[in-house]
Structure 1
């Protein structure tokens, strides 16, 4: 938008005033001097009313809903108050949208009356936007282009400050675990959890590196011709763990700069919150951590829908920044036995799969999803007990998850 203060009408009036002034001297017509002076005063007065007269401006802004979600429409509401001793004519308004948010934030700004009168103190505006990328996005400020009552001058200026909008990752609806056995299901199916030794309700499982030799179940080992260890069942709230790989070395550099920059990392974040939502619906107490075991959000109780909303908000600003290694995760979780253990990674190599192999025996439902697996990585993970899948895009997530938890298929790609 040009910063020139005159409209086309005002420019024409100024040109006409100058022409009348020149003609008055050239043809000795005194009346043209009056016309020139009148037009000059009118144009100058119009500019003065917009730029010199004191105005009071204020804007209130809110979003509906308060938090945006990638791919879902959101309404932006504004109430703009402009009070001036003089009325202003109809103009235009435009709100500023950041990268990652699309919409048509502009329209006609109605004329405003004199501030000396009651009424017309506020103008209500609204428009819809669609967030396209996760993160904290500043909406605003709004700029208003107004003109004087004669339409000779215009003024475009910003009002208010930007308001941050939190854009959370999309939450996809994933297949349930209803077809799983009782020891896999959450409180919606069974309420058992396995812990260390005991004399009642003993359940043998495969030996995993790090298990105490005193827990070896010799009868079960002899029966199955492989080492088995004891664990007992007790009534409790079953736990599920979702692990999001944030190591910068396994994502594109854009994933470390700002949310929404790397499509692969966005797929992983979407998978993280979607899987957590599915497990919470199943009744699990869900923990969401990264590869070094650090919590990315507070634990979420089974059936707690508000907890998923908090998780989505906590994941809105995260980027890839830590250098967590699979070996670190294996060490952190080696002493735990949980229900579902879902690991979501970026670049997955055969050495990474080998480092994660021991964890498959500490979970009743080990699932490993990778955005960019290298040749042979998923095959090695599947051989060690993981249910694996590739999720290069969000469109592949639903199918990969269904294959893993319902049919138990290993989606192995060479």
Structure 2
């Protein structure tokens, strides 16, 4: 709905004075008093007409650099207001309000004396909470030359802005991934024979037809040919999005937000290490990102911008998805609450050669016995379990934990 001009205290005072003077003139029967009083009443109305008819017109361009940031990182908003119809309205004040979650309103004075005149202004914003935002709060405020009216006009110019989860740079894992054949990456273990064949040491159940005799004779150890395609690492990252395990505090769920940030950081680390990474949440929603995709980073972070807690009561749907993994895949589970039931579900996904890591939020004292029961079950099934707090140094936790799944 289009806004209307607002009278200033000067207008109200003039109307009150004019009304009193007119009443006095009528009561005294003095026409010389009535006419000035009528002029005082009508003058603000004439000023109102000029505000409505002669108001300036602007076009607005707004850009945000960068348009996507991590939670807590700054960005810069640059707006340019250009006059398309000048006005003698005098001073024009612009206000751009990014919203309380991004910053405070920014004010600037605009020149409106001639068409084509442009005024640029820049101000910072900071997204402290992940999400998708739209900046569309640009307004101009101007008055008539006598200061009787103030008119505020909103100029629609929606500009999207995305805040991803906070990402913590993580060190590389101490050991590289195993591929579909269980072989270590070629650059670390292979050697070249005279015919440049890529070889490795013989392992039980290797096909004898792959034995590379020249390398065997030269090294004194039985060597077999290997294919460059052997390294095709895949990792599964599970996010515990159960609403029941994340307590709400002042409209936020600190443990859930910490897990989302950890998932974002771990996933990017694994992508950088060459893994194809699959994200699964408690409701079983799956999202796959290949490391060789040009926009792998953006593809991994994008669903985490919108992810919310789910109504799932357990991790059954997530573990059903994870059970699709082959025996050489890496598992990283980020869990909000560990007990015997959760541990049994995770343990049921275990295959003989999988490498498995659980980062679980430290339990409250009352939940400690159930946590220890769950930890024992997972350890018995070959999982590495690390207890973390929401204020823990994720990089340090990852450096310590990743060595346990080598």
TM-score category, normalised to shorter length: 0.7 to 0.9
Name the structure 1 match of 2:277: 286
User: Would you say 1:275 and 2:266 are equivalent positions?
Assistant: yes
User: Would you say 1:380 and 2:369 are equivalent positions?
Assistant: no
For 2:391 and 2:189, the matched residues in 1 are separated by 32
For 2:47 and 2:189, the matched residues in 1 are separated by 77
Name the structure 2 match of 1:398: 395
Name the structure 1 match of 2:60: 59
TM-score, normalised via structure 2 length: 0.74
- Give yes or no for contact 1:361–1:385 (8 Å, CA) kept in 2: no
Name the structure 2 match of 1:315: 304
Runs of 5+ unmatched residues, structure 2: 191-200, 206-224
For 2:290 and 2:177, the matched residues in 1 are separated by 23
1:193-342 → structure 2 map (5 Å cutoff):
201-202=202-203, 234-236=227-229, 237-245=231-239, 247-248=241-242, 250-252=244-246, 261-290=252-281, 294-301=285-292, 306-321=295-310, 323=312, 324-325=315-316, 327-333=319-325, 335-338=326-329, 340-342=330-332
- Give yes or no for contact 1:273–1:308 (8 Å, CA) kept in 2: no
TM-score, normalised via structure 1 length: 0.72
- Give yes or no for contact 1:293–1:332 (8 Å, CA) kept in 2: no
Count of residues in Structure 1 that have an aligned counterpart in Structure 2: 360
In the superposition, relative to structure 1, how do residues 175 and 378 fare at CA in structure 2: closer, same or farther (>3 Å)? farther
For 2:274 and 2:11, the matched residues in 1 are separated by 70
Name the structure 2 match of 1:102: 102
* RMSD, matched Cα: 3.8
User: Would you say 1:175 and 2:171 are equivalent positions?
Assistant: yes
- Give yes or no for contact 1:267–1:392 (8 Å, CA) kept in 2: no
Name the structure 2 match of 1:389: 386
Cα deviation for residue 360 of structure 1 reads: 5.2
Name the structure 2 match of 1:349: 339
Name the structure 2 match of 1:145: 141
Cα deviation for residue 379 of structure 1 reads: 3.8
Name the structure 2 match of 1:229: none
Name the structure 2 match of 1:88: 89
In the superposition, relative to structure 1, how do residues 364 and 328 fare at CA in structure 2: closer, same or farther (>3 Å)? closer
1:182-193 → structure 2 map (5 Å cutoff):
190=188
Cα deviation for residue 13 of structure 1 reads: 3.0
Residue by residue, what CA displacement relative to the aligned partner does 1:257-298 show, whole Å, maximum 9, x if unpaired?
xxx943222212111110112122223333333457653243
In the superposition, relative to structure 1, how do residues 50 and 315 fare at CA in structure 2: closer, same or farther (>3 Å)? same
In the superposition, relative to structure 1, how do residues 153 and 189 fare at CA in structure 2: closer, same or farther (>3 Å)? farther
For 1:244 and 1:296, the matched residues in 2 are separated by 11
Residue by residue, what CA displacement relative to the aligned partner does 1:73-94 show, whole Å, maximum 9, x if unpaired?
1122223345456322324443
Residue by residue, what CA displacement relative to the aligned partner does 1:174-233 show, whole Å, maximum 9, x if unpaired?
2322x43786998696489xxxxxxx84368xxxxxxxxxxxxxxxxxxxxxxxxxxx97
Residue by residue, what CA displacement relative to the aligned partner does 1:318-361 show, whole Å, maximum 9, x if unpaired?
2233745154145322x3412x3211222222222233225555
Residue by residue, what CA displacement relative to the aligned partner does 1:66-109 show, whole Å, maximum 9, x if unpaired?
1132100112222334545632232444334446x231222133
In the superposition, relative to structure 1, how do residues 356 and 201 fare at CA in structure 2: closer, same or farther (>3 Å)? farther
Give secondary structure in 1 for the equivalent of 2:286: coil
Name the structure 1 match of 2:215: none
